Amino acid sequence: MTTEATLTSTSASPTARQVWTRARGIALALVVLLAGAVAIAVVRSDARHGELDPRSADPGGSRAVAELLADRGVDTRVVTTLDEAATAAGPDTTLLVAAPDLLTPTQQTRLHNAFADSHGRTVLVASGSASIERLAPGVTADPATSLDSTLSPDCALPAARRAGTADTGGVRYTTTHLGADACYPSERLATLLRIPDGTGDGDTIALGAPDILLNDHLDEQGNASLALQLLGSRPHLVWYLPSLSDTSAANPDDERSFFDLLPSGWLWGTLQLFIAAALAALWRARRLGPLVPEKLPVAIRASETAEGRARLYRKTDARDRAADALRSTTRTRLAPLVGVPVTQAHTPEALLPALSAHLHGDGQDQQSLLFGPPPSDDAALIALADRLDALEREVRRP
């Protein structure tokens, strides 16, 4: 009971107050970061109402072009599902797809089949390689986008020639259609393509950038003229804003694995991180040198150190290490008493003969005591400690 009380009183386990004192700074920083993130999310959610949304008056919205079209007798209807967009396609309708790349491959195929024979106009805004080949077969998007945003028409399309320069710089397209109008070129690749449907009535327009439709760019260059001509050629405009809540997106054929969702350069990025970590490890390893003694801020009593090591040995049932420590210390103290150098204290051939000569007894028992196997249980360990203590007292006796 006395030993347990002593161990409890000298325990180095931190109290709850100490843990809180050490962690309160980190906890406060996490709370501040969380509060800041919530505040930023709230502010942004109130400030923005929809990118390329004809109902939004934000700089990134498209309400201005919708109002101008309404003044010219073109009614604009916003749809958010594929079924509504497919149903609305017709010869007197312009279908604008705001974000084609958000559609799944199945949705893109369905949408193309819906407007391919409608003899209406379809405008694809910033359609990239993930969607353009399905929505406009024969058209390919170049991986590199245009470096310039403001470009000249340089084509025979009447709408482009009347509008003049416009902010169409973005995705660049190439096509195999011989009758296509390739306008606003950037390094010989068009940022606006008009592909007729073959009957002369309908067409598909691939627009490389949405800038001409945004509120904050509509009054620049010939953006307003180009936007009104592209979207105002028919009395009805259906503005399709793909939504994540559209049930048509839940198609098992479009399910992709985790690696399909990662960016294309993830493998090289991971390799670069691995190389950087290896170089950092080598750099830090070179700084390792000899141990430098450091003065402790407080003096620790030898009894506390012994008790601490004893608790560790007991917790891990390391009786072999405890017995080695007891025997090694005893041999180190006995060697000078029997005339053996300390450097040879752990050599049985040097220590045991001198010890036997000093005690005038059989060295066999001393060999098992000082160099024997580890004890099998705690009782044997205690007995070993008592015998070592008795041996040292006998040697010290005059």
Q: From residue 364, how far is each of 79, 184, 337, 376 by CA, in Å?
A: 98, 102, 19, 20
pLDDT band at 2 (very low <50, low <70, confident <90, very high): very low
Q: Say if CB 65 and CB 213 are below 8 A apart.
A: yes
| Whether residue 252 has pLDDT greater than 60 | no
Q: Say if CB 153 and CB 184 are below 8 A apart.
A: yes
**Portion of the chain with pLDDT greater than 70, in percent:** 87
Least confident of 134-148, 254-268, 272-286: 254-268
Reported residue count of the chain is 398
In sign, the C-alpha dihedral spanning 323, 325, 326, 331 is positive
pLDDT tens per residue, range 314-350: 888 888 988 898 999 999 998 898 888 988 888 888 8
pTM, two decimal places: 0.55
Task: Enter the tokens of residue 139.
Answer: 């058209």
| Whether residue 208 has pLDDT greater than 90 | yes
Q: Give the pLDDT of residue 49.
A: 59
pLDDT tens per residue, range 370-389: 888 998 888 988 999 999 89
Task: Work out the end-to-end distance of the chain between its first and last CA atoms, rounded to an integer number of angstroms.
Answer: 37
Q: 3-state DSSP helix/strand/coil percent for the chain, to nearest 5?
A: 50, 10, 40
In sign, the C-alpha dihedral spanning 346, 349, 353, 356 is positive
Q: Give the pLDDT of residue 165.
A: 95
| Whether residue 64 has pLDDT greater than 80 | yes
| Distance in angstroms (rounded) separating the CA atoms of residues 257 and 199 | 41
pLDDT tens per residue, range 38-54: 877 666 554 445 788 99
Q: What is the mean predicted confidence (pLDDT) over 8-20?
A: 64
Q: Return mean pLDDT, the chain.
A: 85
